[in-house]
Amino acid sequence: QGDVGFNETQILELFDRVLVDAECSTDGAVRHIEKRRSSPSNQSCNAPAWNELNMSELVHLQKQLIESGFNLLRKGGVMVYSTCSLSNEQNEEVVQWLLNKHESAFMIAVSFKRSEEELEFMEEGSLKGTVRFQPSSARDSSDIEETVEGHIRNLTFSGGGFFLAKIGKA
């Protein structure tokens, strides 16, 4: 009565697909880094929300998020875990923690139907099957071709770095 949350007698709907875009330190987010650098007068904007002093708290939160997402998957479902961080501690180690804790969790390799040349900004993470997109803050204008509809083609990846893992439930 009036309690927020769930108890053991409640039945939760399970899902075929779950996306966990986890809170992270934003160390791969070029826009956040550039904003902090360009605002020296604003100390609160200059300092990252997550740092070495509270990183264990952040990783604990990420483990709670990934496990909650996994618990909402039905058998045969697929979860994508992502962050805008390039830290092993926030990415591969969180995913490995889930794999170790839940026997029914398994990796599904992330892949794209593009040539390696087109995806030169992407590399496999330290956990097989995961991927990292490396940050880039500059666009090469020779790679940009705008169409009449305003869509951009032939764009070299530009923006923040991020991490993706795809996890299945047996």
Cα–Cα distances (Å) from 153 to 35, 55, 114, 137, 142, in that order, read 27, 39, 14, 18, 11
Instruction: Please list the residues that pair with 21 across neighbouring strands.
Output: 82
Name 162's bridge partners. 133
Task: With beta carbons less than 8 A apart as the criterion, state whether 157 and 65 touch.
Answer: no
Query: Cβ distance 72 to 11 under 8 Å?
Result: no
| Nearest alpha carbon to residue 120 among 143, 148, 151 | 143
In the annotation, is 84 catalytic? Answer: yes
For residues 148 and 85, the answer to whether their CB atoms sit within 8 Å is: no
For residue 26, what are its two tokens?
């934003």
Q: Which of the residues 22, 24, 58, 84 is marked catalytic?
A: 84
| DSSP letter (8 states) at residue 8 | T
Active-site positions read 84
